[in-house]
Structure 1
Amino acid sequence: MRRLVVVTGGTKGIGAAVARRFADAGDKVVALGRADLDVTDEAAVSEVLGSLGDVAVLVNNAGVSASAPVHRTSLAVWRTQLEVNATGAFLCTRAVLPGMRARDRGRIVTVASTAAHLGAPYTAGYTASKHAAVGLMRTVAAEVAGSGVTANAVCPTFVRTEMTARTVARIAERTGKSEQDSEASIAGLSPLGRLLEPEEVAFAVAFLAAPEAGAINGQTIVLDGGGIQA
């Protein structure tokens, strides 16, 4: 059955890979970028998602990151990460959940991060927001338990995206290392020893969203080669 799949942050990076995977499987995909939807705008989320029809799969992928020690993290930067990464997932989930519950079927998959399981220096806003996103997912999962709706999350380590490229550039600028060495330094933070490819994350998302995955609810799949065993 052809499903309607909505992917936020769906025009590049992980989101684009997710959108391609669902489209290649024959689903109807709506990939929403920043130009299409501000996931922090309550009215816009209700209007856009409400106009699409019966959403079968929601992938909460829209996200931002910033890096600074806690004592140098501004309130504005903190709020932006919480608003996009956590509140955005909440608003989009809330918008599609009533319809999924009424139809007794649906899949909600949140793209979180290994940062949802541990803390790392200079990532206060990002780490807090990803913990919040996973907490939201678990609450939704508890509320829909026993129905045909599920909520889960994927938690990748660093992925080869524009966001990671900016992180690499910041490391190179601050340390004087080459970008190649800077990339190797973050790749070495997990047993995987390399950056994930967006398609690997897309595979995990599609797995959780499969019709056959109805028994998987309230779970996180960690993609880091075995460093975090959750």
Structure 2
Amino acid sequence: MSRVLITAGASGIGRAMAHAFDRSGYEVWVSDVDAAAVAALPSHWHAHMCDAVDEAGVAELITRAGPLDVLCANAGIAGPTAQVEDVDLAAWRACVSVNLEGAFLAAKHALPAMKAAGQGTVIFTSSTAGIYGYPNRAPYAAAKWAIIGLMKTVAMEAGPFGVRANAICPGAVEGPRMEGVLAREAAAKGMSRDQVYAGYAAGTSMRSFVEAEDIADMALFLASDAARRVSGQVIAVDGHTENPDPKL
């Protein structure tokens, strides 16, 4: 049975990924820092509390899981909403740490066994903010851009060993995290939540948000034999972002 580990897999995009891989017959391993969410996961999943930036914890979990067929480096936080000159350094560091260092540590400790096995897939969760930049979200955008550089480097280094790496760039995803972003931006811009929501939707050619399941479906494709020659790619699942500065 193929084995997948999804970081931050107890809710949102990560949980949707876990369900998708489960339905496809994978042995599912999930890590998260939310104890209540971890406790609520299906009993047949291997669910563990683990901070994405705790290197010892990450190394122990990946060793316990054994050789992985798929790693979904998905952990991330939204970070502060502010103009660059108003961003607190501690908030910057916290955002970059979880989003970028978390992805790095997961890949660092999963890759040796994948290389030794001569196969494996690493799927990084970036963002359309990592393609276009993002007003008022500098630390988040910077980290998500950096994930793309990390992914491409992993693809180059691990490709000769039969290991692939790709990055999925979600757009605005329905769910609690995006609701928090909408609330903060509404407050910062003196707008209503619905006005900000409409601005995001209007910035895509499909005039809509995406669902976590849309991201999960792409992850499942990238892990499949149908994508056996797809590596080093940045793939947006966002309804086609036309305007990276959401506004009416």
Measured after TM superposition, the shift of residue 52 of structure 1 is 1.1
Name 2:129's counterpart in structure 1: 115
1:28-107 correspondence to structure 2 within 5 Å: 28-35=27-34, 36-66=49-79, 67-107=81-121
| Matched residue type, 1:102 | A
Return the alpha-carbon distance in structure 1 between the equivalents of residues 90 and 97 of structure 2.
10
1:158-197 correspondence to structure 2 within 5 Å: 158-197=172-211
Q: TM-score, normalised by structure 2?
A: 0.87
| Matched residue type, 1:186 | Y
Q: Does the CA-based 8 Å contact 2:208-2:239 persist in structure 1?
A: no
Residues 100-140 of structure 1: per-residue CA shift (max 9 Å, x gap): 00000101000110111111211110000001111100000
Out of 169-178 and 40-49, give the one that drifted further: 169-178
Measured after TM superposition, the shift of residue 176 of structure 1 is 4.3
Q: Does the CA-based 8 Å contact 1:191-1:224 persist in structure 2?
A: no
Measured after TM superposition, the shift of residue 84 of structure 1 is 0.6
Q: Does the CA-based 8 Å contact 1:148-1:214 persist in structure 2?
A: no
Overall identity of the aligned pairs, in %: 37
Structure 1 gap ranges (5+): none
Return the alpha-carbon distance in structure 2 between the equivalents of residues 77 and 189 of structure 1.
27
| Matched residue type, 2:70 | V
Q: What SS does the aligned partner of 1:215 have?
A: coil
Q: What SS does the aligned partner of 1:68 have?
A: coil
Name 1:208's counterpart in structure 2: 222
Answering whether residue 156 of structure 2 is matched by residue 142 of structure 1, we say yes
Out of 163-172 and 16-25, give the one that drifted further: 163-172
| Matched residue type, 1:53 | G
Structure 2 gap ranges (5+): 35-48, 243-248
Name 2:140's counterpart in structure 1: 126
Name 2:245's counterpart in structure 1: none
| Aligned residue pairs, count | 227
Q: TM-score, normalised by structure 1?
A: 0.94
Q: Does the CA-based 8 Å contact 1:14-1:198 persist in structure 2?
A: yes
Q: Does the CA-based 8 Å contact 1:68-1:123 persist in structure 2?
A: yes
| Matched residue type, 1:157 | G
Out of 187-196 and 157-166, give the one that drifted further: 187-196
